[in-house]
Amino acid sequence: MGRWGIVALAALAVMGTACSPGSADDVAVGDETATTTTRTPRITDDSGRPPVAFDPCYDIPDDVMNAAGYDAAKKELADMPMGAYTFLGCAYDKRDYVPGVRRGYGLNILSGNVTLEEELAKNERIATDTTVNGRRALVEVDSTDRNTCTYVLQTDFGLIIFSRLYYTDHAGPAPEGEWCSGMDEFVTTLEPFIDN
C-alpha cells in the first residue's frame, strides 16, 4: 500500500469512532439508508484534485455488508483530509472464528482522490494488474505486511482501496496463499455500488 494508504489507515485507526452514519441528505429506509444525489462529500480539500464521490460508510448498503458477514452496526468512519489529497474511510470487523485457524478479518475501505497510476508507482513491486467487473484494478500482496490483502479499484475521481487483515488464531502468519482467499468475489460484489 502506498504512503497515502498507510497514512490513511493510521488515521482511520486513530480517528475512527463507532457510528451509524447519517446526514441531513440521507433518508432512512428500513435497515438501509437511501442517499440523495446531492449529498456533499464529508471532506474536500484544496488540492485541485476531484472531490471524493464515493463514501464507503454511506454508499455501501448495510444489508450487503451484513450478508458478507461484517457487522455494519459496528462500522467505523473517519474523515481524513490530507491537504494534498483526501480519503474517506470505513472500517469493519468480521468475527467468523475458526478455532486454531482464524479469529476473523478486519476490513478497511478507503475512497480517495489519488490516481491508480500514483498508487502503482508507489507499489509496483507488490501490485498485480487485474480487472473487477471490467474496472481496472490492482491486487497488492506484500510478504512483509503479513496477513494483508489489498484490492485497489480505479474510479473517475481516483481510487478505492479494499484492505483486509486476516486475524490468525495461532502464532505466526497465515499461509500467504490464504491472505486473499475470497477477496476477489467479495470486491466483485461491492464494485457495482461504485457509480464511477
Quickly list DSSP for 21-39: ---TTEEEETTEEEEPTTP
Check pLDDT > 60 for residue 10: no
The residues near 142 (Cβ < 8 Å, ≥ 6 apart) are 1, 123, 126, 148
Residue type, 147: N
Start-end of H helices in 93-182 = 116-123
Nearest 5°: the CA angle 44, 49, 53 is 55
Q: For residue 195, give the C-alpha cell.
A: 457509480
| Mean pLDDT score, 102-131 | 94
Enter the DSSP assignment of 98: B
Check pLDDT > 80 for residue 196: no
The residues near 23 (Cβ < 8 Å, ≥ 6 apart) are 39, 58
pLDDT of residue 31: 47
Task: Give the strand order in the sheet containing 102-112.
Answer: 17-18, 76-81, 86-94, 102-112, 159-168, 148-154, 135-140, 127-132
Query: Could you give the CA distance from residue 173 to residue 196 in angstroms, rounded to a whole number?
Result: 36
Counting the structural domains of the chain, the total is: 1
Task: State which residues form the domain around 17.
Answer: 3-193
- The structure's pTM equals 0.78
Check pLDDT > 90 for residue 30: no
40 vs 122: which has the higher pLDDT: 122
Q: For residue 9, give the C-alpha cell.
A: 489507515
Query: Could you give the CA distance from residue 80 to residue 95 in angstroms, rounded to a whole number?
Result: 26
